[in-house]
Amino acid sequence: MKILHNNATVDHNVNSDGEGPYRVEGFRETVSIESLNGLRSLAEQLINATHTPRYVQKIRGACKSKSELAEVQLSPASYEAMVVSATLAILAAKDHCFAVTRPPGHHASREKAEGFCFFNNVAVATNYLLQQGKRVCIIDIDGHHGNGTQSLFRDEERVLFSSIHQAGTYPYSGLATDVGSESSLKRVINIPVPTGSGDDVFLKALVFIVERVRSFDPDYIAVSAGFDGYFQDKIVKLNYSKRGYYEAGKLIASLSKPSFAVLEGGYHEEVKSCVEALVAGMSGDNFDTKEKPSRSTEACTIGVENTLSLVASALG
């Protein structure tokens, strides 16, 4: 699995120590802007279909006027980074790659920017696949619930959305009993895990999702790959290791479906090596790390077992 990156992502929100350029430090540019330009028209069409033309114009205007939105100081370079990221996500879906997208996207809903997110990159790429007549499962492993992504596909029967995230944190959604409603009923799987959960809890939750993905039988797997569950993260208080991300990649690969991933959160200096761990697992490659798998407390383990029981009951 190739890692796709364009340097336009570095020029967005340059003075932030939160969602700042340090997050993509170390990634070399593997896709030139000239290569992306061939997909730009398609990307802009899909951005307007995923959101609304009115919303897209609002975001463009906010960037042009250097406004503050979704906790971010925007600039004209921000808009370029957004469009480039959406384009990289489409390319990742086409070629089964990992897209280094920045700003992230999974909190962005149809007409709302929040949580550092403006255009929902994984949703844009998923809509590209839906246009090809494909069924898609989205697996969101970010430490925060992908509320925007869930909302965007509530009326789409060809999408199964799943999320593993820290309980009781922003955006305070994604309860275990939330399995969708009306047309999306039982096409949503939310697994909130306790603060401090380690690799064992993370992987137990992912096994639960993988078993249900097999029943859904999608054509593609889309991964919202946030790495704020890593134990060094500044915002989320989970305890995952690179070994955990590697094993997660192997579990996703065990579905034997065409897969791609886009970068979401991760607010620490090890984002690149976490990406490499997940990619190695998804690709079936070896990954060397000195980090040992992290173990959860007994309270966390009991907590996630109770949560999984609730989810299973809600799904029926």
- 3-state secondary structure string across the chain: CCEECCHHHHHCCCCCCCCCHHHHCCCCCCCCHHHHHHHHHHHHHHHHHHCCHHHHHHHHHHHHCCCEECCEECCHHHHHHHHHHHHHHHHHHHHCCEECCCCCCCCCECCECECCECCCHHHHHHHHHHHCCCCEEEEECCCCCCHHHHHHCCCCCCEEEEEEEECCCCCCCCCCCCCCCHHHCCCEEEEEECCCCCHHHHHHHHHHHHHHHHHHCCCEEEEEECCCCECCCCCCCCCECHHHHHHHHHHHHCCCCCEEEEECCCCCCCHHHHHHHHHHHHHCCCCCCCCCCCCCCHHHHHHHHHHHHHHHHHHC
* Residue 268 known to be catalytic: no
Q: Which pLDDT value is given to residue 211? A: 97
What's the rounded Cα separation, in Å, for the pair 146 and 126? 14
Over residues 173-182, the pLDDT tens digits come to 999 999 998 8
| Residue ranges of the chain whose pLDDT lies below 70 | none
pLDDT at 118: 98
Task: Give yes or no for a contact between 76 and 13, defined as CB atoms under 8 angstroms apart.
Answer: no
- Report strand pairing: 188-193 vs 220-225: unpaired
Render pLDDT for 118-174 as a digit per residue (tens, 0 to 9).
Answer: 999 999 999 999 999 999 999 999 999 999 999 999 999 999 999 999 999 999 999
Question: Are the C-beta atoms of 224 and 138 separated by less than 8 Å?
Answer: yes
Q: Across the chain, which distance is largest between two alpha carbons, in Å?
A: 52
Question: Which is catalytic among the residues 5, 12, 51, 107?
Answer: 107
Compute the distance between CA of residue 5 and CA of residue 250 in angstroms, rounded to an integer.
23
Smallest CA-to-CA distance from 123 within 91, 153, 95 is with: 153
Tell me which CATH code domain 3-315 carries.
3.40.800.20
Q: What's the confidence (pLDDT) of residue 183?
A: 86
Residue-level pLDDT at 157: 95
pLDDT at position 253: 98
- Residue range 299-314, pLDDT digits in tens: 999 999 999 999 999 9
Model pTM score: 0.98
Residue 140 φ then ψ, to 5° = -100, 115
